[in-house]
Amino acid sequence: MLYGGIELGGTKMVCGIADEAMNIIDRFVIDTTTPNETLTKLYEYFKDKNVSSLGIASFGPVDLNKNSDTYGYITTTPKPNWNNTNVLKYFESLNVPIGFDTDVNGACLGEVMHGAGKSLSNVIYGTIGTGIGFGVYLNNELIHGLMHPETGHMLINKHELDKDFKGPCPYHENCLETLASGPSIESRYHKKAYDLYDNEDVWKLEAYYLGQAISNCITMYSPERIILGGGVMHTPGLIELVRKETLKNLNNYIKKDEIINKIDEYIVLPKLEDNAGLIGAVELGKKEL
């Protein structure tokens, strides 16, 4: 049997085919443009692939309530032109079970099943890239509530040197995404993140914000491991700075050896690297099957 997966990202769309051993045997990547253009291309890719299921892990917010009239929609996203997009309708004619969830939940599931979260029951996966989001896996289940966690929009204390900065999020002036995402870095410094690798001050500020978010996640969800992926986390040395800021924020309040003495094993990079989202999407489809 073959299984399909799609990772719908704000900058690019990654899709592929996996075999029963979860080897990605074919892969297709396109830029994210308009909904109709992008989703039609993805449907064309899958229409003759004979997959047994399809999993879609999408940027959001999305409607995950199967009883809702807008189940399978991207809803109030800040991504231009994608508000109220019915994603699932583009793939219904494939006539296969379709799993649908957030992109970060997909990546989280991929890492839990096959990567850095394997054998653990409580894991948080964060993507730090074009947007910021966190997938939360507690007691062996991905968390869905009224909608799904929108941790990237938690409100964060601004650094005093950053008090006049206004980031790209149209909803909040001091949420994590508007202060620490890739577009935020570019807006602040007028350069792409990968052109700033040698600027220590950039990454100290980035770690200042991410450290707040991670310590908040630890106190709220008490995960056994936190995995941080996405393009920004490719920055050499950034994860070490984030670990230090997290420990500083927690201030020994949570006296667990895993945090105090084994922080390098507690806050980690993805083992699946940039395939976490695609493999997780495939797993979403398999679960629906």
Give 97-131 pLDDT, tens digit per residue.
999 999 999 999 999 999 999 999 999 999 999 88
200-221 and 182-189 helices, crossing angle to 10°: 150
Token pair for residue 213? 């978010």
Amino acid found at 2: L
Q: What is the mean pLDDT of the chain?
A: 95
Lowest-pLDDT choice from 67-81, 178-192, 222-236: 67-81
Phi, psi of 147 (to 5 degrees): -140, -90
| Positions of CATH 3.30.420.40 in the chain | 3-103+274-288, 116-269
Give 3-57 pLDDT, tens digit per residue.
999 999 888 999 999 999 999 999 999 999 999 999 999 999 999 999 999 999 9
Residue 92: DSSP 8-state: G
Assign a CATH topology to domain 3-103+274-288.
Nucleotidyltransferase; domain 5 (3.30.420)
Class of domain 116-269: alpha beta
Closest CA to 207 of 199, 104, 288: 199
Would you state the pLDDT for residue 146? 84
Whole-number Å distance between alpha carbons of 90 and 94: 9
Phi, psi of 138 (to 5 degrees): -125, 135
Would you state the pLDDT for residue 262? 97
**Buried b or exposed e, range 80-116, using 16+ CB within 10 angstroms:** eebeebebbebbeebebbbbbbbbbbbbbbbbbbbbb
Beta bridge partners of 142: 137
Whole-number Å distance between alpha carbons of 53 and 51: 6
Would you state the pLDDT for residue 274? 85
Whole-number Å distance between alpha carbons of 167 and 124: 25
Token pair for residue 70? 């807008």
Contact 47, 95 (CB under 8 A): no
Give 167-223 pLDDT, tens digit per residue.
999 899 999 999 999 999 999 999 999 999 999 999 999 999 999 999 999 999 999
Q: Which residue has better confidence, 185 or 78?
A: 185
Would you state the pLDDT for residue 218? 98
Positive or negative CA dihedral for 76, 81, 86, 90? Answer: negative
Length of the chain: 289
**Contacts with 106 (C-beta within 8 Å, 6 or more apart), sequence order:** 5, 7, 55, 57, 135, 276, 277, 280, 281, 283, 284
Is the pLDDT confidence value at 79 over 90?
A: no
Contact 140, 165 (CB under 8 A): no
Beta bridge partners of 136: 124
**Alpha-carbon distances, residue 176 vs 17, 156, 158, 204 (angstroms):** 33, 6, 10, 15
Residue 26: DSSP 8-state: E
The residue behind tokens 């308009």 is 34
Is the pLDDT confidence value at 96 over 90?
A: yes
